[in-house]
Amino acid sequence: MKTLGILLAFALCSSIALHAETDVGLADGGAAREPLRVALTFDDSIKDHLLIAAPMLEERGWRGTFCIVTDWVGKNPHKLTWDDVRELVRRGHEIATHTKSHRNLLELLKEGAEGEIRRELLDSAAKIQKETGIAPRFMFSPGVRQNDETARICREVGLRQAESVRYNFGSNNCDAVVATVEGLIRSGKRRADILHHGVSQKDHGGWCSFEDRESFRRHLDALKELERKGRIVVTDYDGMVSDCRLRAKSWPRHGVIGLSFDDTSFDQWDAALPLFAKYDARTTFFVVGTNRIDFMKKAMAAGHEIGLHGFRHRDAPPMVEQCGEDWFWKSEIAPQIAALNAAGIPVRSYAYPNTRRTERTDELFFRRGFTRVRGSDKSFPNPNPFDPKGEKLDKWRPIATTDYMFIPAVEFISARKVPNVIMGDAYHTDIEDVVQAMARAGERGEALFLVSHGISRGARGISMKTEWLERMLSSANELGVLIRGIR
């Protein structure tokens, strides 16, 4: 684009050591507490994770974390294949490693086989990245058999060991999730890893499986009701850990900034990666063409998303109208998908060049498997129009008071069509106005989508000044917002 969730019933995995956690909420009788951050995690590479769990999560606007034992992928018909894992990635779910072969890491430590632990971690992480294009960030140890030494080894190979407290649900306690979660809230916990293995015994089974799909559905419905009441917020594991860095000022709500950059400013984006890493922020780079696969892989390994912006940056609506959907797809979209997929880069988001979209083109992308599109139309115009000559200043509006640019943060994952505010001198961006809009998102628990193009000191035109980006990233925690990409 050139121009925009009685009895406390636990079922803990073996060898769990409870960690002390700090309550950042206020004392009883004071202001509302921070809602419990809940991550839904799934171990052991089971086929039903894609066939049953993922669709049910998506129905509720949730993203799961799927922990892959790489030697088990494709091992039998009841296990995920690599195509299945790639499909989970494409649909926006998080992938983590559950090691290469599910060995007991503590036993390996006792045997003095630290090298074997490294191989379990390195081989599995490398395999996941090779097959999906995504470098896993977290290691979930088999049976939660882990300690400080295994955490050290994880750090040394570029992984983060997941927390040792996991609340495992399945056949023995499928209706106990409300009691468990309410107990955690009363005890002042800030986050909870709700763990699953088998999803439906009547389908493909798996260890500690729910009896059937309906049992699993009731389990999720109970969590959804707790989220509706504001008791919890369901997220993936990365979101659970990151969200806990926010503090009580903006609770019980928080906001999300969906930040993205368009076109081909690869060198400038590359130079900005350390800045994103400094503030633990993520973004989406919507790329034109198929050049600089090296940058795309580097950005993905750092946790960012790669999205499509077209093979030749051509406007979708007129092409579809004049030449038909098939011609447009074959000439403008398919070549880019093929090249990126061949390089191990999955794509699931699309940003319209020049923000031009229609209902027809939206449905075309959804029908072809995309999960989100970003653009504008006459109903949702950019509050700061493209105006390099300063001829439209009377149409400029503060972002914070442009209500249609904000959506509830709980809809951040599930929203399929999102508007965008474009930043740059050609849009007369006022960074104080942007920061005020971020503050509104934090105070009201909303999501706002911001987009620019290049990133450099003193940038002009349609690009973002590095000083603007650093102001946004450094202010995010204080303002009660997370900086994330489009996914």
What tens digit of pLDDT does each residue of 365-399 get? 988 878 789 988 776 777 888 888 888 888 888 99
pLDDT range class, residue 21, cuts 50, 70, 90:
very low
pLDDT exceeds 60 at position 6: no
- pLDDT value for 267: 97
Q: Is a pLDDT exceeding 70 seen at residue 362? A: yes
- Look at residue 53 and give its three-state secondary structure: helix
- DSSP, collapsed to helix, strand or coil, labels residue 369 as coil
Write down the pTM of the prediction: 0.65
Other Cβ atoms within 10 Å of 189 Cβ, number = 17
Tokens (6 digits) for 227: 């989220």
Q: For position 436, what pLDDT does the model report?
A: 96
pLDDT in tens, 206-231: 888 898 999 999 999 999 999 888 89
pLDDT score recorded for residue 248:
35
Integer Rg of the chain from CA? 23
Distance CA 456, CA 189 (A): 41
> 466 versus 132: which is more confidently predicted?
466
pLDDT on residue 296 = 93
Q: What is the pLDDT of residue 298?
A: 92
Q: What is the DSSP letter of 142?
A: G
Kindly report which listed range (262-271, 462-471, 477-486) carries the lowest average pLDDT score: 477-486
Contact indicator for 258, 483 with CB cutoff of 8 Å: no
Banded model confidence at residue 170, pLDDT cuts 50, 70, 90 = confident
Cα 158 from Cα 140, distance rounded (Å): 14
Q: Tell me which amino acid residue 429 is.
A: T
If one compares 202 and 425, the residue with the highest pLDDT of the two is 425
Burial profile 260-286: b = 16 or more Cβ within 10 angstroms, e = fewer: bbbbbbbebbeebbeebeeebbbbbbb
Q: What is the pLDDT of residue 33?
A: 63
CB 420 within 8 A of CB 375: yes
Beta bridge partners of 196: 42, 169
CA atoms lying within 13 Å on the CB side of residue 471: 15
Q: Which fold has domain 250-484?
A: TIM Barrel (3.20.20)
Whether 267 and 285 have beta carbons less than 8 Å apart is answered as no
CATH topology assigned to domain 36-244: TIM Barrel (3.20.20)
What's the CA gap between 453 and 261, in Å, rounded? 5
375/385 Cα distance (integer angstroms) = 14
Positions of CATH 3.20.20.370 in the chain: 36-244, 250-484
pLDDT score of 336: 94
3-state secondary structure of 400: helix
Residues composing the chain: 487
Which tokens hold the place of 334? 């398919």
* Contact by Cβ (8 Å): 307, 349: yes
What local confidence, expressed as pLDDT, does residue 30 receive?
39
Residue type, 39: A
Average pLDDT (475-480) is: 87
Torsion, Cα 326 330 331 332, to 10 degrees, reads: 90
Q: What is the largest CA-CA distance in the chain?
A: 74
Q: For the chain, what is the mean pLDDT? A: 86
Q: Distance between CA atoms of 194 and 64, rounded to whole angstroms?
A: 10
Task: Report the helix count and the strand count for the chain, using DSSP H and E.
Answer: 17, 20
CA distance 146 to 153: 11
How far apart CA 383 and CA 401 sit, in angstroms, is 10
DSSP state of 79: B
pLDDT tens for 244-293 read 444 333 333 478 899 999 999 999 999 999 999 999 899 999 999 999 99
Instruction: Determine the pLDDT at residue 174.
Output: 67
* Residue from 268, 197, 270 nearest 42 by CA: 197
